[in-house]
């Protein structure tokens, strides 16, 4: 049968559709390889005078500077605290939703997904208004109590930055660990209960140990995300001269004074890539031996839920505390400060000063440019991402091309390499190599290209999984009937991939809408986005105006988030029916 299919597909025009798909797949793969290679190349390139030379000076300067090790220490502390807080809230929340009789489950599930879509820099701005040592609302309340000045909280301290980042990534922990708890066989827990083990001992000795691979994989992913995080370290730490490696990279290419040090940024980026690849290897190694913990069998698997009894109240208190700290409190304070000329503690007197002055003071032309560019990116980025991702997934999953695993490896590269590095590399290429014949720097096209490249990894993961679930016999039957490969894609595969395509398109659109990290490097006055507009105001010290733009962005984002939530629920219901 397979030989008949291959013979039939080889007939006709020499213009083989498979070659076209491979060619489309090569475009993002080659671009990703180029950008990573440029980072390595520019770390050796020294510019000075009229010529350039190559040396290890950037690496000598990087590793010979005590500030590098201080930044590494800050990044390590920040990432570890982030990991601890994310697991502290995310893992218990996943267990409560998936393994207990807590009702209604839809509330925490929905709030967790909505929190995952909320830009982290908005929460960071809210926490600055809450815990700034001088003007923070909570610190103002604390210092109003006689003798309590010592209790003020400095949000710019590295551990507190990690706490805020951890609250934002607890949603990721919830999403990644939930499937592990959902499919866990309760037979081992029941056996432990029969043998007299207490509830908490069963939880520690049985449940968590069975969930260990899933929790460890989530922990590694969260730690990698924290190492690469830019939004919260930039919003909170940059103005206070507290650096992690991502903000150090930003300062090296966007210095407050002097010229950019692309060679030093390249060396720092190579170090970050090395660390990220090490943890990526650990992540895949964890997934590889996770089968040792498989406890689901076809005959004995019976899903059961733990009865919480009187502990239900405390379960809701725990979840409510997280939603208050992670989402409600910082966003509410952000909106409150957007209505005031300067930060104030909520009171009757401050309520009388509420106005729309900050909104009126915004530059309307600048705001319209940001809104227009953001809208264009939110539509075009997911569309192009899916175009390349469908071709890549077909090559990886369906084709028999030798070396197709290389396409899979490089399409996954943006998961391992921090996004700020791709932005720096793209800026370097566009400024020093493309400026004379393809001047894309400062245009929306450079944002479009880099956004598409970095989110191909997410899209291909989704489509690979969906495509694997579609049996080949449908395509083989169509090929035997003489239908071309493109018609097979259009008439068979794409309709069957519809739910995955819609879900991925909406998710990437929301990611493009909220993206700050790459925009902070690549945005100029001509290609501003809404997040870049907020960042510019915040960096200039116009905090209330930045809060006003953030409030407008949240208002626009609310219907998009609920559209994603509504479509996601419909897709899930359709999958359950089928």
Give pLDDT, residue 495. 78
Give pLDDT, residue 87. 94
Give pLDDT, residue 277. 81
Spans of the chain, pLDDT less than 50: 1-15, 49, 296-300
Bridge partners, residue 46, by sequence: 53
Pairwise CA distance, residues 561 & 567, whole Å: 10
Half-sphere exposure (Cβ direction) of 371: Cα atoms closer than 13 Å: 14
Q: Is 358 exposed, middle or buried (0-12, 13-18, 19+ CB in 10 A)?
A: buried
Pairwise CA distance, residues 261 & 253, whole Å: 6
Can you say whether the dihedral through the CA atoms of 359, 364, 369, 375 is positive or negative? positive
Q: Does residue 104 have a cis peptide bond before it, meaning omega lies within 30 degrees of 0?
A: yes
Q: Is 149 exposed, middle or buried (0-12, 13-18, 19+ CB in 10 A)?
A: exposed
Give pLDDT, residue 576. 52
Look-up of token digits 């197709």: 404
Pairwise CA distance, residues 166 & 32, whole Å: 29
Give pLDDT, residue 286. 66
All domains in the chain, ordered by first residue: 1-44+358-526 (1.10.3720.10)
Q: pLDDT digit string (tens) for 384-423?
A: 999 999 888 888 887 777 777 788 888 888 877 889 999 9
Half-sphere exposure (Cβ direction) of 477: Cα atoms closer than 13 Å: 7
Pairwise CA distance, residues 578 & 499, whole Å: 12
Pairwise CA distance, residues 493 & 567, whole Å: 20
Contact 200, 208 (CB under 8 A): no
Can you say whether the dihedral through the CA atoms of 358, 362, 368, 372 is positive or negative? negative
DSSP 195: T
Q: pLDDT digit string (tens) for 503-525?
A: 888 888 888 988 999 999 998 88
Q: pLDDT digit string (tens) for 125-157?
A: 999 998 888 778 888 888 878 877 777 888 889
């Amino acid at each position: 049968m397979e030989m008949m299919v291959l013979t039939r597909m080889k007939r006709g025009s020499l213009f083989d559709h498979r070659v076209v798909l491979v060619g489309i797949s090569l475009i993002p793969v080659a671009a990703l390889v180029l950008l990573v290679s440029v980072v390595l190349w520019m770390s050796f390139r020294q510019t000075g005078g009229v010529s350039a030379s190559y040396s290890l000076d950037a690496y000598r300067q990087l590793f010979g500077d005590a500030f590098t090790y201080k930044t590494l220490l800050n990044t390590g502390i920040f990432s570890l605290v982030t990991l601890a807080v994310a697991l502290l809230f995310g893992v218990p929340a996943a267990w409560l939703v998936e393994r207990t009789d807590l009702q209604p489950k839809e509330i925490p599930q929905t709030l967790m997904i909505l929190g995952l879509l909320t830009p982290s820099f908005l929460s960071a701005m809210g926490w600055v208004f809450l815990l700034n040592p001088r003007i923070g609302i909570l610190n103002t309340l604390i210092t109003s109590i006689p003798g309590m000045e010592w209790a003020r909280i400095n949000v710019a301290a590295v551990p507190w930055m990690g706490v805020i980042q951890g609250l934002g990534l607890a949603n990721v922990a919830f999403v990644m660990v939930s499937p592990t708890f959902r499919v866990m066989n309760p037979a081992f827990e029941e056996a432990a209960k029969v043998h007299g083990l207490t509830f908490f001992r069963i939880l520690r000795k049985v449940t968590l140990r069975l969930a260990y691979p899933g929790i460890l994989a989530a922990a590694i992913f969260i730690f990698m995300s924290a190492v690469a995080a830019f939004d919260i370290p930039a919003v909170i730490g940059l103005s206070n001269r507290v650096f992690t490696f991502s903000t150090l990279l930003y300062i090296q290419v966007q210095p407050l004074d002097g010229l950019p040090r692309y060679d030093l940024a390249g060396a720092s980026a190579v170090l970050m890539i090395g660390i990220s690849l090490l943890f990526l290897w650990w992540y895949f190694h964890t997934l590889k031996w996770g089968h040792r913990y498989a406890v689901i069998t076809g005959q004995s698997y019976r899903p059961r839920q733990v009865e919480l009894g009187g502990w239900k109240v405390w379960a809701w208190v725990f979840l409510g505390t997280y939603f208050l700290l992670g989402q409600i409190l910082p966003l509410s304070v952000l909106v409150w400060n957007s209505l005031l000329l300067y930060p104030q503690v909520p009171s009757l007197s401050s309520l009388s000063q509420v106005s729309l002055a900050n909104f009126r003071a915004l530059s309307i032309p600048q705001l319209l440019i940001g809104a227009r560019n953001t809208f264009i990116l939110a539509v075009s980025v997911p569309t192009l991402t899916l175009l390349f991702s469908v071709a890549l997934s077909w090559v990886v999953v369906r084709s028999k091309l030798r070396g197709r695993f290389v396409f899979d490896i490089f399409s996954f590269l943006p998961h391992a390499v921090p996004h700020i590095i791709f932005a720096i590399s793209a800026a370097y290429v566009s400024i020093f190599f493309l400026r004379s014949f393809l001047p894309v720097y400062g245009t929306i096209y450079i944002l479009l290209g880099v956004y598409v490249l970095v989110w191909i990894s997410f899209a291909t993961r989704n489509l690979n999984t969906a495509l694997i679930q579609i049996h080949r016999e449908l395509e083989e039957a169509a090929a035997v009937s003489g239908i071309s490969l493109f018609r097979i894609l259009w008439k068979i595969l794409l309709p069957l991939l519809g739910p995955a395509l819609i879900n991925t398109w909406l998710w990437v659109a929301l990611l493009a809408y909220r993206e700050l990290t790459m925009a902070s490097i690549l945005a100029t006055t001509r290609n501003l986005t809404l997040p870049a507009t907020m960042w510019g105001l915040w960096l200039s010290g116009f905090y209330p105006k930045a809060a006003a733009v953030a409030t407008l962005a949240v208002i626009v984002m609310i219907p998009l988030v609920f559209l994603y939530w509504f479509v996601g629920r419909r897709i899930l219901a359709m999958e359950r029916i089928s």
